[in-house]
Amino acid sequence: MNYLLLPLLVLPSVLGGCARFSTTERWTIRGRYGNDGGYPAGYKFLEDAPVIQATDFFTCNQQTIIQTRPCAGNISLCGLEPQGLASVTARFSVTPVNNNEDVLRSFFGLVSGAVEANGRDESYPNRKPPRYQACGEVGGSGRTYCLAVGDQGWIRYSARYLCVNGTAEECTDGPFESGTKLVVCGVDGEFPNGDLSFESNRTAETAPNYMASDMNPALNSSLTCGASMSELKGWSFGFMGLAVIAGFIL
């Protein structure tokens, strides 16, 4: 019995984690455009987020005009609207040394707690803390792009993040080395918080490695969101209980 319970006691060190995240900052908006939110001087941000294509690569012609609803009441224009499901996850400016999903979720919870301990940002009293992960419908904005015959392109959705600078401390087996300075970004609320943009080429200027698909990837029904933070916390407390019980038995 004792030997069977031993793996329960050593599992936390295998998973790894950090005990502290040091920061004096509050969450700051990071959108698609450089003037979002008025960034503090010297604030470091990440590169553009992964591309989310929210329509087919589309060509406006007489056939597709019939297939789309009139744009702004003009029956000679195609109306292109974003649609589909997209999943967005927290991002880090430094590559984790431990990519275990539970470890990253736990670390993000640690960061969120450290930021909230700095008090509410009086400039944004109603701002809610960001989430580690959000999944939802990107077509809820009601935005329609009007295309003339011969125009082609696709709509890109750029999620909005809330970010903070800080230092990971007292880390064991990742997700970062102790003393690592990094930017941590969480997803700002529910979809469709963020920006939509029309891209007239297969590849966007800010995403040269992405080739727009003829079929909208956001309509892929296999997209999922994974466990929520509340589920993770429940798992953690349950695991701690098992470890305590095992300790008494041993």
Q: In the prediction, which pLDDT does 204 show?
A: 85
Residue with tokens 């580690």: 132
Q: Which mean pLDDT values do the consecutive 10-residue runs of the chain (250 residues) have?
A: 41 69 91 53 68 94 86 90 90 93 96 94 84 87 89 93 94 94 90 86 87 93 56 31 33
Q: What is the pTM of this model?
A: 0.76
Beta strands in 55-159 (DSSP E): 58-59, 78-80, 85-89, 91-92, 133-137, 145-147, 152-159
The confidence score (pLDDT) of residue 40 equals 57
Residue 178 DSSP one-character state: T
In the chain, domain spans: 20-232
For 163, the 3-state DSSP assignment is strand
Q: What angle do CA 96, 97, 102 make, to 5 degrees?
A: 70
Provide the pLDDT for residue 232: 33
